[in-house]
Structure formats: C-alpha cells, structure tokens
Amino acid sequence: MIVTQTKPQFLTEALIEVCNNEWKVLSLENNRSVYTQLEMEVGRKYIKVWSYLVSGGERLNGNSCWMFVDKNTGECYKPASYKAPAKGVRYLITQLADNPHICDPYGSFLYL
C-alpha cells in the first residue's frame, strides 16, 4: 500500500466533505436555492481551500479563497489575498476536523 496523502491533506478533505454536506442540507431545509461549497487545491507550501456558490446543482461563476492550510504542520490561516495567507495561525486542521461546527461558509471563524 502506497500512501500519497499527508495527514493535513486527509483532514482537509474530510473537513470539506463534512462542511459541504452540512451546508447543502441546511439550504434544502431552509428552502434556499443557493448555497456555498468548498474545494481544495494543493500547492507547493499550502493547501488552498476555495469556496464557490451553487444554485440548482449548477456552479455559479467565480470563487474565493476561504482558507490556507500548511501542508506540513496543519496550521490554518485566514487568506490575506488569493495568493498568500495572513500572518498568525488561527487554528490547527485537527481542531477544525474534530469540530466542523466552528466553520461557517463566510470564513468569519478565521478572524482574530
């Protein structure tokens, strides 16, 4: 068996899956047609988590950077731009994966 994923990558995927399912169910229960979904992109140093809107099963134009995760340590950062994270660790990915209710679609949990 060959392991190609690091622990932070695995936990980021797990968090994204839980959040996507929760936000979709909440939008259906509240009769909303538009909801937020997440996807990840693995870069050289960081895992970039992107958010985008979905309406009627169709992805709407545009996306925004939701969070950065350090590939080696699992430290989570608020984005300063879509290219770089802001200074200061906000969470560890293990904390967010264990408590996905902390996360919201807007990323406000990443502010100090």
Q: Is residue 101 situated within a structural domain?
A: yes
Q: Is residue 20 situated within a structural domain?
A: yes
Whether the pLDDT of residue 6 is over 90: the answer is no
Q: Is residue 111 situated within a structural domain?
A: no
User: DSSP 3-state assignment of 79?
Assistant: strand
- Mean pLDDT value across residues 21-48: 95
Q: In this predicted model, what pLDDT tens digit does every residue of 57-100 receive, in sequence order?
A: 899 988 999 999 999 999 999 999 999 999 999 999 999 999 99
Whether the pLDDT of residue 1 is over 90: the answer is no
Q: Is residue 83 situated within a structural domain?
A: yes
What is the C-alpha separation between 54 and 8, in angstroms, rounded?
Answer: 26
Whole-number pLDDT of residue 112: 84
Rounded percentage of the chain residues whose pLDDT exceeds 70: 97
Instruction: Report yes or no: 68 and 49 within 8 Å, Cβ to Cβ.
Output: yes
User: DSSP 3-state assignment of 95?
Assistant: helix
Split into its structural domains, the chain has a count of 1
Q: Is residue 112 situated within a structural domain?
A: no
Range of the domain at 82: 7-106
* Dihedral pair phi/psi, residue 27, rounded to 5°: -70, -35
